[in-house]
Amino acid sequence: MKFLNKLPYSTLILAAIFMLLTPMSPMPHVFEKILMIKEGVFYKPLDIFDLFFHVSPLILLILKFWKDQR
């Protein structure tokens, strides 16, 4: 977890916003995947990887914030 010390908050925040909102059309992937989970059609390995890929900067941001608060 030492690599989190090297990552500035500004970079993580920009990466998280960018990855959560891309692609913009027809709708961001994160919202699309959440709707797929809600509808019960979220089962392909590619969908799981795609959701993890788009949420990973947010997870890193949360981990860095949590680590700095301790």
Rounded mean pLDDT, 38-49: 85
CA distances from 1 to 5, 32, 48, 64, 66 (A): 8, 31, 24, 9, 12
Give pLDDT, residue 23. 86
Look at the block and give the residue holding tokens 């690599």. Answer: 3
Q: What is the pTM of this model?
A: 0.83
Quick one: average pLDDT of 40-62? 89
Q: Which two tokens stand for residue 14?
A: 């920009």
pLDDT of residue 33: 86
